[in-house]
Amino acid sequence: MVASVESSLHKVFINFRGKQLRYGFVSHLVEKLEMDGINVYIDEYEPRGNDLNVLFKRIEESKIAIAIFSSMYTESDWCLDELDKIMECVDLGTLVVIPIFYKVDTDDVKKPNGEFGDKFWELAKDHTEKIVKWKKALNRVPEKMGYTLSETSKESEYIIKIVGQVVERLTLISTDLEREVLIENPDTGDEETDEEAVPDSAPSLFGIETRINQFKEMFDSACGRTLTIGVVGMPGIGKTTLTEKLYERFKLKFARRAFLSDVREICRNGMIDRSILTRELFRQEDVIQEDPYMTLEILKKKLLEKKCLVVLDNVSDKRQIEILLGECDWIKKGSLIIITTSDRSVIEGKVDETYEVLRLSGRDSLQCFSYYAFSGHICNLKGNFINLCKEFAEYAKGNPFVLKILGGELKGKSETHWEETLCKLAQSPHKKINGALQLIYDELGQHQKDVFLDVACFFRSGDEYYVRCLVESWENDSIDAVSEIKDLASKFLINISGGRVEMHDLVYTFGQELGSRESCRVWNHIGFVGALKKASGPDCVRGIFINMSELKDELLLDRFTFTKMHNLRYLKFYNSRCHQECEADYKLNIPDGLEFSTLDEIRYLYWLKFPKKNLPEDFNPMNLTDLNLPYSKIEEIWVGVKKTPKLKWLDLSYSSKLRNLSGLLNAKSLQRLNLEGCTSLEELPKNMKRMKIPECLGKLKALQELVLSGCSNLKSFPITIENMKCLQILLLDGTAFTDMPLQFNSSKVEDLSSLRRLCLSENNKISNLQIDISRLSQLKFLDLKYCKNLTSIPLLPPNLEILDAHGCEKLKTVASPMAVLKLMEQVQSKFIFTNCNNLEEAAKSSITSYAQRKSQLDAVRCYKEGNVSEPFLVTSFPGSDVPSWFKHRRIGCKLKLEFPPHRCDKRLSTIVLCAVVAFPSPQVEISRFSIECTYEFKNKTETCISFSCILGGGWIEPRKIESEHVFIGYTSSSLITKHLEGSLLHSQDCRECVPPEASIEFKMRDGAGEIVSCGLSLVYEEPNHVVIEGNGNGATSRRDVSIGESTVSFAAGFLSLVLRFPWVDLSTFDDLFKGEIS
């Protein structure tokens, strides 16, 4: 079957109750619309005898639907079926709906109530199967901008308004897409896009006005000085397109202007010098032609006479900027310079402002792809095309260029071809996409190339510090040190978010394809055998990851297998199917032992069920950073004491024969040690018993309240800090303090140590808190709502449960880390940043990073206390995408996945849920807000169990929410085990190595809004680290919380926490540690 599209004209479909309105209001409305040349459709235009499907087709062909709700509307099932179809098209972005409430109340339509509701429920008795979808459609339509006519309204005036609105909407719709989409065409070599594969005219640009206004604000704030703005983003994200629109919008404001396209290519052809730019600036004046021998001084003088607009597009090196712009001493003040680049480091120190072009949201990606795949139309898709569209949109991850290329090449092809293309893309990216990435890769230095390929092949997703320690070319203990990882991030080849290294799917497949060449990086047994036989020999091998669950036969490792691998850095034998000892058949055959004499470069060694008593005696662990030997047969790590200056992570869990750890006496850099299940180990070496834990702090005193809420004329604090030693609650909302009343020095920090609640909301004077608020160790609730001039939030205290920064319009930054980490009692924490529309991406990363780490500490508490909790941490901020670190992401409100085997064991500590919610416009006040998350588990015998939890917004006062927001909730895995314990599903599968199917559906429960996309990640607790699900090749990604089941393993876990995160309050672990050893 081939996807097809019918041609479509601008049409207006009118949905109404004919019996009541046909010969009155509707007849006058149709007459006025047709007088204005608008193609209108009503049901009487259709020949008698046609069924409802014909009307559905007319709705699909239309651009605007007018839904007229009257008192008799709900007498007709046809009216309601049409309405449901209309909302379906609205969701696809192919239709705009204008609701008209003709002498009915909007609340009666939404509920439905009153006479309108009575007729609805009477009709519903005969259509029980349609009640849910009818109610959903009625509930959502009133959220759209429309018109309400009462008994006293002048209908003629409203008809004129409605027609005017229709004309305005149709004028804005120049294509079948109402939304605007950014399209960029990066240079991909000599190949050009097949013009027949894409429509002649691109859709209008998504969000362009918002982005141009942001630039205008930056330019206006320059106050007459020359402003240089850098526009950055990954290839294909829309930098050039955005800059072209900016140039067209601003060019008339400047007497001289120049747009240099593709500076990288100009430089490659060896033609770059400043004369290129000056000739372009003087193009309209013929200055150079009049005096071709003009001196540089005269030329500079003439340039300084007029302001100019300069765009340098696709710059790839700082030297290009220096050659073209120099010191900018020839540019008149008040000029504007825009530089686009795919390398953030290129513009460091060269620009005043940086603007990052972000990827498209899920919905916009789907519409953009559909536009190019269906010849500029979005049609009623048949078969599996709609699901395939979603798959391709998900693959592109919001990159407009990729959406355009794939959509164009799939246009008119069969469903089978689409499916085959999707499978091929999973293995290797499209050649034109490869071309764009190859340009950036070719400009990397050799060390950068090595690190990029190592990350793509082995460590695609992981903690930034951990990945850096393993892959970088030199030792970098400081997270702020110059590094290849940060260089790659500046070039958008990797992403650092929330303290984690992530890689875009397109870049990942590109990197894997490069990394597999010459067998330098191997991740399957076939490649491993091939590497040993290659002419280039095993000397070139840099990494080997073998998944033993994929082995059908035994893999022979002879004594000399590794002796020629002088450059081997990463070696891993693992089982992705199961981390436990379910498989009795060990598929590695090592008949004569192993020699490791040449593995001097090895940094990462992971060997599940290592079969020997110790590592080879000739092994030199000088560069070894992470050693994992779970379920091994070792009795000691190696013979004697070896130098291990770089060893930071050691996992010997369930090595039941381990007796001797003396080989670790030189491991001075050790940060994490896992000895869980080492049942034969009786003591630690003496030098490892020197850990001390500080004594507990004193208990709190009695507390008091001080309420100054609404004292709008109060400009200074009337009480000295010395009189506030027992203060518990301080409410200063609505006051006019220009300076913070809580300024104190270190000697007086104890005076406010009892403060638990601080409210500073609705203060428009303060721009920062001016205090070291992290010292308020008992502060639970910090209210900063509507502090409209607040720009930054400092390091927060450890016990904070609720931070409400709603409506802080100028808030840009938060501390990183956001707060001091501390193990707390069971509470539900909420960090609310709704309507903080200027919040920077770094701040959002800091928020999610802190939330992850705090949830891990809470998981420790749940584990120790055996508690079950609902989501114990919720955070929210403006955004249109599920963060990239979520393993499972989906456009829409439902996602499916396979839970890992042994889900009932205690490694799964935390479940992270995410929903992106679009709020209605115009805004309505939302008093309560919550999302119901329904889990459904099904095993191989189709046994099913379902249960729900609530992801709340976290606020209780009414508020209006703008645009789309991201809501993230962290909940203990005990939520799942609580419901599964005792069930048939649990008894059948818990001990089997069977991954059950699971689905999670997100649904609005309280408040107005629509689920746009959703996500889920699983956090696994190891005794010496936390693994966040997401690495397809089995490489672990590190996190920071430790728990254990023996004195030895717990102490090791505690050492891990202390060394890795020095800001954790050690006093909180005192009682916990005593309880462990008692």
pLDDT in tens, 564-597: 888 899 999 888 777 665 555 567 888 788 888 8
d(CA 198, CA 520): 39
Q: How confident is the model at residue 266 (pLDDT cuts 50, 70, 90)?
A: confident
The pLDDT value given to residue 623: 92
Q: Which one has a higher pLDDT value, 801 or 973?
A: 801
Q: Is the pLDDT at 378 greater than 80, yes or no?
A: no
pLDDT surpasses 50 at 110? yes
Mean pLDDT of the 221-243 span: 84
Annotation marks residue 82 as catalytic = yes
How far apart, in whole angstroms, are the C-alpha atoms of residue 630 and residue 607? 7
> What's the mean pLDDT in 238-256?
86
Confidence of residue 658 (pLDDT cuts 50, 70, 90): confident
**Of 834, 962, 882, the residue nearest 210 (C-alpha):** 962
pLDDT of 69 reads 95
Mean pLDDT along residues 382-386: 72
Rg (CA), the chain: 32
Contacts of 79 (CB under 8 A, 6+ apart): 15, 16, 17, 73
* CA 677/CA 1046 separation, integer angstroms: 8
Mean pLDDT of the chain: 75
Helices (H), 374-463: 385-396, 400-410, 415-427, 431-442, 446-458
**pLDDT score for 180:** 34
Q: What is the pLDDT, as a whole number, of residue 806?
A: 92
Residue 3, pLDDT above cutoff 70: no
In whole angstroms, give the CA distance from residue 135 to residue 87. Answer: 12
| Rounded Cα gap, residues 822 and 1065, in angstroms | 6
**pLDDT tens column, 869-888:** 455 678 999 998 888 888 88
For position 708, what pLDDT does the model report?
Answer: 65
Greater pLDDT, 673 or 646: 646
Provide the pLDDT for residue 202.
44
- Give 993's pLDDT tier (boundaries 50, 70, 90): low
pLDDT at 201: 40
Q: Token digits for 986?
A: 């649990």
Sign of CA dihedral 897, 902, 904, 910: negative
Name the helix (H) or strand (E) containing 890: strand 888-891
What's the pLDDT score for residue 326?
86
More confidently predicted of 903 and 911:
911
Which of the listed ranges 415-424, 621-630, 839-848, 857-866 does the model predict with the highest average pLDDT?
621-630
Q: Is the pLDDT of residue 868 over 90?
A: no
Burial of 584: CB neighbours in 10 Å, binned 0-12, 13-18, 19+ = exposed
Q: What do you get for the CA distance between the two ends of the chain, in Å?
A: 71
Predicted pLDDT of residue 292: 58
pLDDT greater at residue 866 or residue 369: 369
Residues 940-946 have a mean pLDDT of 64
- Collapsing DSSP to helix, strand or coil, 32 comes out as helix
**pLDDT per residue over 476-513, tens digit each?**
444 444 578 888 888 888 888 777 888 888 888 888 88
Closest CA to 99 of 71, 64, 134, 133: 64
pLDDT band for position 1032 (cuts 50, 70, 90): very low
Residue keyed to tokens 């004919």: 18
> Is 80 exceeded by the pLDDT of residue 332?
yes
**922-950: average pLDDT:** 75
Query: Whole-angstrom Cα distance, residue 591 to residue 588?
Result: 10
Average pLDDT of span 844-867: 71
**Is the confidence at residue 9, as pLDDT, over 90?**
no
Prior bond of 292 cis (ω within 30°): no
Percent of the chain with pLDDT over 70: 71
pLDDT in tens, 502-548: 888 888 888 888 887 766 888 776 667 666 665 455 677 888 888 88
Residue from 60, 61, 82, 180 carrying the catalytic annotation: 82
The answer to whether the beta carbons of residues 498 and 845 sit under 8 Å apart is yes
The amino acid at residue 742 is L
What pLDDT is attached to residue 278? Answer: 82
Residue type at position 349: G
Average pLDDT over residues 311-334: 89
Tokens of 972: 């203990």
Q: Is the pLDDT of residue 140 over 70?
A: yes
Residue 605's DSSP bridge partners are: 571, 627
Q: Is the pLDDT of residue 185 over 50?
A: no
Q: Can you give the pLDDT at residue 627? A: 94
The per-residue pLDDT for 537 is: 59
Q: How far is 622 from 642, CA to CA, in rounded Å?
A: 8
